């Protein structure tokens, strides 16, 4: 059938219809489709370029910056006072408890009296040994009874020596006169020289006897002085021990920290030697945090790595957390062997940069035993890799036999 050509009127009508179709607006569904495609493209681009932190998260606990200190008494005694309570914060050197000092004080006073007595005796013997005037040290002069006693002994011994020397000196004087007369008579031939020599020998013997009396007196005093000085040296050591025992009746805290527990608090009760009376948890300027890390995460951790400590006792969103660095990673897994791999963990210690949390310019305490969550940044990865992770795991699962 031959095609029929359009008339002029029909051509004008067809042109009008095509123009209307060209000028008709695009349907809304098409615009929505374009927007969805553009959004997906932008999302894929963003997820490819955007990076997020990879974080290892674990529960943790604040631990003391040092070993717990056991407060005990080396000597047994009677508890007379407990000056702190459990949970109190104490400073280094602060007195925590008091033992009855009666016995220690009596021993120290007895030793002090014995020490001063020996010093007084040494002063007297020194004067006798070197022929010096008797003079006591200032601390000895305060004890009038000791000074009087040693002075009396000194004067009595000196008097005996003087009397003995004086007696010998009188004998020497008489013989010297007789010798002088004999020498005069021998010069005239009225007496033999033998008699003169005999008298001379007797005078010399008496003079030697006199000198020996003085030397023996001083020698005996010197020997006794040496023994007394040895006793003083020994007493010095004993006084150090007795003073230490007296000081240790006051039980003091060796460190700044918290009183963890008081094990003996019966006033008037006997405290055995070496028995633990209380425990002190050290509190340093910085804190340590101990965390248990799963073996599957330990490969991403290393010493010096940064961490954020979020204390459970304080609102992290309001107060923030503490920054720290890993200072220790246990060389092997720990845990209960009965639980097997499920109970295994690595012990990780983090040193915090500060020892407190600040709120409105005031420090809030961070105490051992508080719990926390730690976030350890181990790297970064794209958002797309996170989104594809389930798919990759599913792919691995499909490859298993």
Angstrom CA distances, 331 to 151, 295, 302, 334, stand at: 75, 12, 12, 9
Domain co-membership, 191 together with 255: no
The pLDDT assigned to 390 comes to 62
Residue range 198-226: mean pLDDT, rounded = 79
Range of the domain at 167: 102-247
Average pLDDT over residues 43-52: 61
Give the pLDDT score at 364: 83
Number of domains in the chain: 3
Give residue 1's pLDDT band: very low, low, confident or very high (50, 70, 90).
Answer: very low
Nearest to 278 by CA among 93, 64, 72: 72
Domain of 259, CATH number, reads 2.40.50.100
**Would residue 181 count as lying in a domain?**
yes
Residue 392 pLDDT > 80: no
- pLDDT band at residue 387 using 50, 70 and 90 as cut-offs: low
Mean pLDDT, the chain, integer: 79
Of 96-100, 182-186, 308-312, minimum mean pLDDT range: 182-186
Q: Is residue 161 part of a domain?
A: yes
Three-state DSSP at 184 gives: helix
Question: pLDDT grade, residue 386 (50/70/90)?
Answer: low
DSSP-assigned states of every residue in 45-80: HHHHH-EEEEEEEEEEEEE-SSPPEEEE-SS-EEEE
Domain co-membership, 126 together with 220: yes
Write down the pLDDT at residue 80: 92
* Nearest in space to 292 (alpha carbons), one of 13, 39, 61, 25: 61
pLDDT at 4: 53
pLDDT over threshold 90, residue 213: no
Determine how many CB atoms are found less than 10 A away from the CB of residue 3: 5
Instruction: Give residue 170's pLDDT.
Output: 74
- The better pLDDT of the pair 83, 385 is held by 83
Residue 230's pLDDT is what? 92
**243 in any annotated domain:** yes
Which residues, at least 6 apart from 249, have a Cβ–Cβ distance to it below 8 Å? 77, 98, 99, 100, 101, 104
Same domain as 331, residue 302: yes
Q: Same domain, yes or no, for 58 and 112?
A: no
In the chain, % of residues over pLDDT 70: 78
| Nearest-angstrom CA–CA distance, 83 and 95 | 7
Residue 50 has pLDDT above 60, yes or no: no
Select from 281, 300, 327 the last residue of a domain: 281
Q: Does residue 242 share a domain with residue 106? A: yes
Q: How far apart are CA 326 and CA 305, in angstroms?
A: 5
Q: Are residues 241 and 254 both part of a single domain?
A: no
pLDDT of residue 21: 47
Q: Is residue 30 part of a domain?
A: no
Q: What are 254-277's pLDDT values in tens digits?
A: 988 889 889 988 898 898 988 899
Dist. CA 363–CA 355, nearest whole Å: 9
Task: Choose the weakest-confidence range: 160-164, 184-188, 260-264.
Answer: 184-188
Q: Is residue 205 part of a domain?
A: yes
Give the residue with greater pLDDT, 249 vs 190: 249
Residues 274 and 305 in one domain: no
Per the domain annotation, does 18 fall within a domain? no
pLDDT band at residue 335, thresholds of 50, 70 and 90?
Answer: confident
Cα of first residue to Cα of last residue in the chain, in angstroms, is 70
Burial of 59 (0-12, 13-18, 19+ CB in 10 A): exposed
55/128: higher pLDDT: 128
Q: Are residues 123 and 243 in the same domain?
A: yes
For the ranges 144-153, 190-199, 285-294, 343-352, the lowest mean pLDDT is seen at 190-199
In a shared domain, residues 138 and 174: yes
User: Does 88 have pLDDT greater than 70?
Assistant: yes
- Reported as a single tens digit per residue, the pLDDT across 51-72 is 556 778 888 998 877 778 899 9
Query: How far from 369 is each of 50, 125, 253, 257, 313, CA to CA, in Å?
Result: 39, 66, 20, 13, 11
Pair 331, 198 in one domain: no
In a domain? residue 367: yes
Q: Which of 123-137, 196-210, 263-277 has the lowest mean pLDDT?
A: 196-210
Which distant-in-sequence residues (6+ apart) come within 8 Å of 14 by Cβ?
6
237 and 353 in a single domain? The answer is no
pLDDT value at residue 97: 93
Residue 27 lies in a domain: no
Q: Which of the two residues, 167 and 238, has the higher pLDDT score?
A: 238
83: confidence class by pLDDT, cuts 50, 70, 90: very high
Of the three residues 228, 247, 266, the one that is the final residue of a domain is: 247
Domain boundary among 232, 247, 262: 247
Mean pLDDT of 336-347: 77
Q: Extract the tokens encoding 22.
A: 């060209």
302 and 179 share one domain: no
Instruction: Read off the pLDDT band of 251 (50, 70, 90).
Output: very high
């Amino acid at each position: 059938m031959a095609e029929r050509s359009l008339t002029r009127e029909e051509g004008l009508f067809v042109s009008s219809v095509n123009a209307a179709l060209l000028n008709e607006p695009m349907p809304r569904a098409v615009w929505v489709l374009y927007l969805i495609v553009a959004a997906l493209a932008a999302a894929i681009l963003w997820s490819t370029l955007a990076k997020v932190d990879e974080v290892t998260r674990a529960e943790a606990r604040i631990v003391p910056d040092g070993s717990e200190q056991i407060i005990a008494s080396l000597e047994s005694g009677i508890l007379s006072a407990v000056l702190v309570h459990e949970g109190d914060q104490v400073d280094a050197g602060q007195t925590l408890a008091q033992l009855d000092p009666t016995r220690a004080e009596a021993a120290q006073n007895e030793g002090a009296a014995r020490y001063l007595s020996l010093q007084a005796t040494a002063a007297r013997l020194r004067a006798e040994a070197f022929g010096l005037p008797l003079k006591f040290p200032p601390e000895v002069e305060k004890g009038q009874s000791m000074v009087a006693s040693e002075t009396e002994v000194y004067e009595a011994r000196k008097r005996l020596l003087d009397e003995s020397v004086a007696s010998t000196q009188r004998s020497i004087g008489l013989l010297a006169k007789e010798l002088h007369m004999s020498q005069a008579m021998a010069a005239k031939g009225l007496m033999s020289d033998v008699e003169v020599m005999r008298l001379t020998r007797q005078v010399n013997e008496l003079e030697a006897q006199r000198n020996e009396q003085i030397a023996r007196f001083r020698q005996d005093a010197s020997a006794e002085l040496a023994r007394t000085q040895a006793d003083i040296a020994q007493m010095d050591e004993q006084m150090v021990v007795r003073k230490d025992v007296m000081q240790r009746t006051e039980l003091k805290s060796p460190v700044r920290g918290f009183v963890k527990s008081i094990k003996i608090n019966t006033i008037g009760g006997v405290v055995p030697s070496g028995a633990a009376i209380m425990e002190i948890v050290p509190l340093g300027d910085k804190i340590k945090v101990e965390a248990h890390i799963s073996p599957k995460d330990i490969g991403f951790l290393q010493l010096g790595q940064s961490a954020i400590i979020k204390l459970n006792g304080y609102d992290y969103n309001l107060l923030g957390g503490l920054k720290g660095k890993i200072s220790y990673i246990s060389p092997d897994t720990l845990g209960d062997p009965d639980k097997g791999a499920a109970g295994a963990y690595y012990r990780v210690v983090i040193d915090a940069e500060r020892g407190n949390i600040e709120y409105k310019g005031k420090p809030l305490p961070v105490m051992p035993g508080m719990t926390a969550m730690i976030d350890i940044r181990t790297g970064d990865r794209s958002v797309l890799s996170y989104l594809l992770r389930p798919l990759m795991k599913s792919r691995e699962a499909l490859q298993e036999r």
